[in-house]
Chains A and B, each alone.
Chain A
């Protein structure tokens, strides 16, 4: 293999990882339809390509050629930029996900992630939190009451659930003593009993619940809420900008799944195979991530949507106290030397 300068290797890594992220997001749109079909005794899209695999591509082409509408009275600049704002943060957040350990690439030793930050978990939360701006701006600039209500709900929801989300992650951070995702993942390596899902099950549960709320997914997708808000923040969007919102949503789901994998399932670690090669680690990472992605779909096509007041009550009165309790309990157990 020819030797390449380090920066070029990084560029290649970034390109591959983002390419992979976008294809996963595309495949998710197909998976969503397939899974929903299966759960309803149907077959799902199967006309484009084998098993409908080319459906996302066909959809993409369709979206490109659709007419783009900007509603009268909308703020055109914000209206146009909002979908990008919604999609971008999720894509940025994926930069620090440690997919696998060190690899030899074009003569350079490097880790299989775009970059490694010592405070990567903080980075993910900070960047991921920006996604809501896209939704708020999209809803407000549409000059439509449905969109506005949708984005208002989204922001309230985000504020309520981000808190619990952070608190649940904090417990994990405390357990591994580092903010670096790679360190957190590696700390669980040794065997399955040390995985955080086993050591901090409550934190895991809280994380999973908040993960749905963070990505605006069923049963917490109040920002869209078709029956009462006609699609919510994206009511007025069409063509590629509409698709961008969805791309952002699927990217966010993917990132969240990665995060859950790293935080609670030890990233790419394989139990009883401590010296697994990087490709095995990568494969195991992808399997775990897919499991979370499937969970997203599974829940969506099973549970009904909450009512908005129920959502708020759950967030503030149940999840927040639980998360606080969990944090203190973890600290106490650690102090007592149990964990």
Chain B
């Protein structure tokens, strides 16, 4: 138990009026201080490669997405935001997603999918804005998720750098 001893108030404090005057002076001064408001849509928050925005699928230089629908991101996703149906393709990679949906309303931007992907196919972009008129419209399909590699390059480099840092030196080499 803590016994808090109250300070005796001075006469001026008890009279209340001088204290009110002080308070008024304080708020008057505040009116002329620098504003902290950010005028959001015109003045967006700066993003950088550390920003974890919404996940996006990398489109390789040959125009195909790198994803092979292995489902690693689907199991890694703690929010069950990802749904994938795979299918056959004639490309050497054999398998590609026929359906790759991320429910952006479920996504918590954790980046687990990026970390799980063995094909470097999914990365966190710096896109943060999300608004539409229906829930269904916010379930993004492949077309909405595609981003050219160049748009994600900074993040890709950053993630690679991180991975290099954590990679264990080979025990047997």
Does residue B9 face the partner (Cβ distance < 8 Å to A)? no
Measured in the bound complex, the distance between the Cα atoms of B35 and A298 in whole Å is: 18
Binary interface profile of B, 116-147, with partner A (CB < 8 Å = 1, else 0)? Answer: 00000000000000000000000000000000
Measured in the bound complex, the distance between the Cα atoms of B26 and A302 in whole Å is: 8
| A303/B23 in contact, CB under 8 A | yes
Does residue B10 face the partner (Cβ distance < 8 Å to A)? no
| A298/B27 in contact, CB under 8 A | yes
Q: A41-B36, A42-B36 are in contact. Are A302 and B24 (CB under 8 A)?
A: yes
Measured in the bound complex, the distance between the Cα atoms of B36 and A76 in whole Å is: 46
Does residue B39 face the partner (Cβ distance < 8 Å to A)? yes
The residues in A between 24 and 74 inclusive whose CB is less than 8 angstroms from any CB of B are 35, 37-43
A135 to chain B, nearest CB (A): 26
B49 to chain A, nearest CB (A): 31
Q: How large is the interface on B (under 10, 10 to 19, 20 to 34, 35 or more residues)?
A: 10 to 19
Does residue A123 face the partner (Cβ distance < 8 Å to B)? no
Q: How many chain A residues touch the partner (CB < 8 A)?
A: 13
Choose from B30, B36, B37, B39 the contact partner of A39 (Cβ within 8 Å): B30
| B27/A41 in contact, CB under 8 A | no
| A299/B24 in contact, CB under 8 A | yes
| B37/A298 in contact, CB under 8 A | no
| A38/B31 in contact, CB under 8 A | yes
26 A-B pairs with C-beta separation under 8 A: A35-B31, A37-B37, A38-B30, A38-B31, A39-B27, A39-B31, A40-B30, A41-B33, A41-B34, A41-B36, A41-B37, A42-B35, A42-B36, A42-B37, A43-B35, A298-B24, A298-B27, A298-B28, A299-B24, A302-B20, A302-B23, A302-B24, A302-B26, A302-B27, A303-B20, A303-B23
Chain B interface (Cβ < 8 Å from any Cβ of A): 20, 23-24, 26-28, 30-31, 33-37, 39
